Amino acid sequence: MRPHARLDFNTLLLLILPPLLWAGNAVVGRLMVGKIPPLALSFDRWFLALLVALLFTGSGLWRQRALLLQHWKPLARMGFLGVACYNSLQYVALHTTTPLNVSLITSAAPVFILLIGAVFYREPIGPASWWGAALSVAGVVVVVAKGRIDHLLQLHLATGDLIMLLAVLLWGFYTWELRRRTLGLTPFASLTVQMAWGSLFIAPFAAYEHWGLGESTHWGTPVVMAIGYVALLASLLAYVCWGTAVARTGAQIPAYFGNLAPVFAAVLAYLFLHEGIALYHLVGAALIFAGIHVALRARPRVVPAA
């Protein structure tokens, strides 16, 4: 792996914004339960984001159509892993498991990314990276368990838990593919093509959800506003920031910042859902930041990718 550039303010902002916006996505998703089916939400989210992105990247992508045709396989693969699979599986999982289980399983993302990098991409993993991952995961466990061990003892694997495990595994591969597959495209242009592929992958399943299972969307101002948020902010802005951060820092460091999402979710729930902030939130946040600090101190010094 090529070394990282120093983490300046702009890079830190790129790393912090995605978990903040994805935490908002979790709050919005909770508010939309019963108003829009999971796969319909996933398709509407990405298709709207695609239409907006094409306004800015369409002409450039047309000029680069030969490059897109040449690299259609890795672009389709990233669209499948990061766009079609992760979010769709998360929305589906929430119908058969609890947000607590989903958050706990998602906290394992840094470990998945480290293992995938070591096994499939031959990336060296130092002990400090494992310590950083352990501290970060411990912080998330404290948050989702609300500081009580009995909450963890009550957990049991449901169908949704297995679905979420698959989602996190696929997200790990997606993060490494972002690092390995710059393909000569800007992050925004690459994301546009990924969204096109992802929408194609989601469409038949969303159609079956509606026509085969009889699920329907209850349209109204809240649903329109929710789709607007998840499409423009939790999708477009967050994924462009994530892709740019991965290109600058490598695949490992962003994984630790991703675990800030439960902390941000607690703050947003306090602001918008009137849920309280307790001591365990602060303890969990401290552990997550400690894990990030350990991981950053141990990272190799390298130049950024394209």
Buried b (16+ CB within 10 A) or exposed e, 78-107: bbbbbbbbbbbbbbbbbeebeebbbbbbbb
Q: What is the mean pLDDT of the chain?
A: 80
pLDDT digits (tens, 9 = 90+) for 70-85: 989 999 999 999 899 9
In whole angstroms, what is the distance from residue 179 CA to residue 274 CA? Answer: 39
The pTM is what?
Answer: 0.77
In whole angstroms, what is the distance from residue 294 CA to residue 248 CA? Answer: 19
| Residue that has been written with the tokens 């490494």 in this structure | 176
Stronger pLDDT, 198 or 140, i.e. the higher one: 198
pLDDT interval class at 220 (50, 70, 90)? very high
The per-residue pLDDT for 296 is 63
The per-residue pLDDT for 57 is 93
Q: Collapsing DSSP states into helix, strand and coil, what is residue 149?
A: helix
Q: Which residues pair with 4 in a beta bridge?
A: 301
Q: Which residues contact 96 (CB under 8 A, 6 or more apart)?
A: 158, 159, 160, 163
